[in-house]
């Protein structure tokens, strides 16, 4: 049922599927981006090990700048470097970059259209024990609202690596959203990745009855939920949306037309995130019943990632319930 054309991980449904933190993919991707272009520079706010920028810093110490705990400076200094032809990647926890330095990003990066790459690691509640202060669940909203900004939310470490390499090549501001925890690797090196393109990862052979549109680490949960429905003879397709801006309108509308019911899945506030973005597209093009999986008007708290994903109703069983509910709404017409 996995989309064979996309060369996804064939161990998807096995217990021993490989798990790697998404941020690891960024760290490896940045080294490759640095190999490709000498103008790539790395700036970090005292968290280079956590964000995995240390890999770049070790290979290219002369192109790495330690800014200290000063995220506002991180963004503004990067803007100045970009004005001189550099391609700066700036990294910290998503809560502080772009959380703390939003206005600096708006004025000095987006308003100037500077190709600075904002890397927010530790996004979502699955940061875990650190608690709510460190769990960025608003970052997609505040980044996708900015003109000129591209917003990428990779589903695993391999996609994060590709997103990083592509981000370096595009002459625009980019926000790259990363998660801290080990995440099942669902793509392979051969899986295509393109900014502005969403792809159907899970395709039962029949016409879809419900479409799940997911982003980030929860794409895995969405696929497992869809697989369970497939076993019951219900056709649920899963669209991976790693490019939240630009958004693949065509893929979203086409799949909504086919399924007639949509569930969005994201580890983010449902206000302003992927679910909202999909609703904006569908409301204007093809109004479709929708259920939104994500965080509903709450802050995070301490716990294990698994506990928190369940507590905030983003686990597999909740995705299944949302699918059933939206199917019911569809049948009521």
d(CA 207, CA 27): 39
DSSP string covering 211-234: EEEE-GGGHHHHHHHHHHHHHTT-
To other proteins, the closest distance from the beta carbon of 131 in angstroms equals 25
3-state secondary structure 29-52: HHHHHHHHCCCEEEEECCCHHHHC
Of 92, 108, 183, 227, which one interacts with other proteins (CB under 8 A)? Answer: 108
d(CA 244, CA 69): 29
Among 7, 17, 54, 111, binds other proteins (CB under 8 A): 111
According to DSSP, the residues that pair with 199 across neighbouring strands are 240
Strand 87-93, strand 150-152: pairing:
unpaired
Other CB atoms within 10 Å distance of the CB of residue 79: 22
For residues 213 and 262, the answer to whether their CB atoms sit within 8 Å is yes
The nearest distance, CB 104 to other proteins, in angstroms, is 6
Binding test (CB under 8 A) with other proteins, winner from 9, 24, 51, 79: 79
User: Given 3-state DSSP classes, what are the helix, strand and coil percentages for the chain, each rounded to the nearest 5?
Assistant: 40, 20, 40
Minimum distance of other proteins from residue 36's CB (angstroms):
17
Q: Does 279 sit near other proteins (CB under 8 A)? A: no
Which token pair is 118? 């904002």
Contact stretch for other proteins (CB under 8 A) within 21-29, 66-74, 295-303, 311-319: 66-74
The region of 91-99, 107-115, 269-277, 307-315 touching other proteins under the rule CB under 8 A is: 107-115
119 lines the binding site for other proteins (CB under 8 A): no
- Where does residue 14 rank: exposed (0-12), middle (13-18), buried (19+ CB within 10 A)? exposed
The stretch near other proteins (CB under 8 A) out of 72-80, 160-168, 182-190, 255-263 is 72-80
Is 72 near other proteins (CB under 8 A)? yes
Stretch near other proteins under the rule CB under 8 A, chosen from 82-90, 138-146, 249-257, 287-295: 82-90
Q: Regarding beta strands 19-21 and 182-184, do their DSSP bridges make them parallel or antiparallel, or are they unpaired?
A: antiparallel
Q: Which of 84, 190, 332, 333 binds other proteins (CB under 8 A)?
A: 84
Task: Show the binding pattern over residues 146-165: x = contacts other proteins (CB under 8 A), - = does not.
Answer: --------------------
Site residues for other proteins per CB under 8 A = 41, 62-63, 65, 67-68, 70, 72-73, 76-86, 88, 103-104, 107-108, 111-113
């Amino acid at each position: 049922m996995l989309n064979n054309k996309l060369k996804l991980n064939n161990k998807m449904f096995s217990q021993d599927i490989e798990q790697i933190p998404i941020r690891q993919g960024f760290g490896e991707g940045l080294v490759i981006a640095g190999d490709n272009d000498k103008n790539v520079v790395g700036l970090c706010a005292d968290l280079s090990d956590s964000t995995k920028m240390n890999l770049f810093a070790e290979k290219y110490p002369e192109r790495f700048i330690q800014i200290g705990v000063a995220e506002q400076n991180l963004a503004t200094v990067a803007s100045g470097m970009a004005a001189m032809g550099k391609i700066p990647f700036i990294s910290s926890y998503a809560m502080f970059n772009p959380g703390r330095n939003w206005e600096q990003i708006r004025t000095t990066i987006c308003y100037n259209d500077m190709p600075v790459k904002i890397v927010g690691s530790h996004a979502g509640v699955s940061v875990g024990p650190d608690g709510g202060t460190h769990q960025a669940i608003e970052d997609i909203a505040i980044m996708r609202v900015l003109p000129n900004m591209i917003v990428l939310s990779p589903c695993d470490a391999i996609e994060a690596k590709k997103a990083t390499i592509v981000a370096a090549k595009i002459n625009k501001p980019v926000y790259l959203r990363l998660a801290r925890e080990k995440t099942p690797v669902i793509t392979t090196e051969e899986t295509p990745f393109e900014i502005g393109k969403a792809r159907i990862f899970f395709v039962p052979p029949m016409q879809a009855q419900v479409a799940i549109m997911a982003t980030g680490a929860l794409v895995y949960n969405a696929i497992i939920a869809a697989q369970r429905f497939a076993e019951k003879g219900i056709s649920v397709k899963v669209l991976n949306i790693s490019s939240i801006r630009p958004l693949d309108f065509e893929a979203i509308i086409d799949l909504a037309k086919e399924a007639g019911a949509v569930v969005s899945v994201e580890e983010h506030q449902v206000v302003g995130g992927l679910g909202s973005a999909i609703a904006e597209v569908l409301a204007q093009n093809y109004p479709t019943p929708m259920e939104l999986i994500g965080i509903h008007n709450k802050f995070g708290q301490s716990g294990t990632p698994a506990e928190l994903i369940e507590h905030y109703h983003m686990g597999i069983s909740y995705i299944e319930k949302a699918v059933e509910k939206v199917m019911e709404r569809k049948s009521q017409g």
